[in-house]
Amino acid sequence: MNRDRDTIAAIATPPGQGALAVLRLSGPRAFAIADEVFRGPAAPPRLQIFGRIVAADGSVIDEVLLTRFPGPKSFTGEDTVEITGHGGRLVSRAILDRLLQAGARAAQGGEFTQRAFLNGKLDLTQAEAIMDVISAQTDLALRCAQRQLEGRLGERVEEQRHALISVLAHVEAYIDFPEEDIDPETGEHLHSRIRSVIESLDGLRSTARQGRILREGVATVICGPPNAGKSSLLNVLLGFERAIVSETAGTTRDTIEEVINLQGIPLRLIDTAGLRETGDRIELEGMARTSKSVQAAELVLEVCDGSLPPAPVPLTVPEGALHFRVLNKADLGIDPGWDQAGEKLAVSCRTGEGIEELKAAMAAALTRDQAGSAEAWSVTVNARHLQALNAAREHLIEALGQLEAGSPPELPAADLRSALHQLGEIVGKTDIEEILDVVFSRFCIGK
Ligand SMILES: Nc1nc2c(ncn2[C@@H]2O[C@H](COP(=O)(O)OP(=O)(O)OP(=O)(O)O)[C@@H](O)[C@H]2O)c(=O)[nH]1
Ligand SMILES: [Mg+2]
**Nearest of 218, 210, 321 to residue 261 by alpha carbon:** 218
Is 349's C-beta closer than 6 angstroms to any atom of ligand 1? Answer: yes
Give the number of the atom of ligand 1 that is nearest the alpha carbon of residue 225: 25
Q: For ligand 2, a single-atom ion, which residues have Cβ within 5 Å?
A: 230-231, 251-252
Whether the pLDDT of residue 220 is over 90: the answer is yes
CA max distance for the chain? 88
Cα of 103 from ligand 2 centre, angstroms: 56
Is 274's C-beta closer than 6 angstroms to any atom of ligand 1? Answer: yes
pLDDT band at 43; cut points 50, 70, 90: confident
pLDDT band at 432; cut points 50, 70, 90: low
CATH code 1.20.120.430 region(s) in the chain: 139-181+385-443
CA distance 249 to 230: 11
Give the number of the atom of ligand 1 that is nearest the alpha carbon of residue 347: 31
Is 222's C-beta closer than 6 angstroms to any atom of ligand 1? Answer: no
Atom 14 (ligand 1) nearest CA: 229
Q: Can you count the helices (H) and strands (E) in the chain? A: 14, 13
Beta strands across the sheet bearing 8-11: 38-39, 49-54, 60-69, 80-86, 20-26, 8-11, 105-106
- End-to-end Cα, the chain, rounded Å: 44
Reduced to 3 states, what is the DSSP secondary structure of residue 31? helix
Domain 3-118 sits in CATH at 3.30.1360.120
pLDDT band at 183; cut points 50, 70, 90: low
99-103, 209-213, 269-273: least confidently modelled range:
209-213
Give the list of residues 6+ apart from residue 212 with CB closer than 8 angstroms, or none: 382, 383
Residue range 302-354, pLDDT digits in tens: 999 999 999 888 888 888 899 999 999 999 999 999 998 888 999 999 999 99
Cα of 267 from ligand 2 centre, angstroms: 18
Mean pLDDT of the chain: 88
Whether the pLDDT of residue 236 is over 50: the answer is yes
Cα of 145 from ligand 2 centre, angstroms: 35
**What mean pLDDT is predicted for residues 17-35?**
95
CATH code 3.40.50.300 region(s) in the chain: 214-376
Burial environment of residue 324 by CB neighbours within 10 A (0 to 12, 13 to 18, 19 or more): middle
**Given 1.10.1040.10, 1.10.3720.10, 3.40.50.261, 1.20.120.430, which CATH number is that of 139-181+385-443?**
1.20.120.430
What is the reported pLDDT for 443? 43
Give the list of residues 6+ apart from residue 235 with CB closer than 8 angstroms, or none: 241, 242, 243, 245, 349
Q: Provide the b/e sequence for 371-404 (b: ≥16 CB within 10 Å).
A: eeebeebebbbbeebbebbebbbebbebbbebbe
Query: Which amino acid, 420?
Result: L
Give the number of the atom of ligand 1 that is nearest the alpha carbon of residue 244: 16
DSSP per-residue letters across 168-205: HHHHHHHHHSTTSPPPHHHHHHHHHHHHHHHHHHHHHH
Give the number of the atom of ligand 1 that is nearest the alpha carbon of residue 227: 21
CA distance 300 to 293: 10
Number of residues that this document lists for the chain = 447
**Nearest of 323, 289, 321, 286 to residue 304 by alpha carbon:** 323
CA distance 334 to 341: 12
CA distance 149 to 136: 13
What is the reported pLDDT for 368? 74
**Given 3.40.50.720, 3.40.50.300, 3.40.640.10, 3.40.109.10, which CATH number is that of 214-376?**
3.40.50.300
CATH code 3.30.1360.120 region(s) in the chain: 3-118
Beta strands across the sheet bearing 322-328: 256-262, 265-271, 218-223, 299-305, 322-328, 345-346
**Nearest of 67, 88, 72 to residue 25 by alpha carbon:** 67
pTM: 0.77
Is 107's C-beta closer than 6 angstroms to any atom of ligand 1? Answer: no
What is the reported pLDDT for 185? 60
**Nearest of 83, 74, 105, 103 to residue 9 by alpha carbon:** 105
What is the reported pLDDT for 182? 57
Structure-model confidence comparison of residues 170 and 423, the more confident one = 423
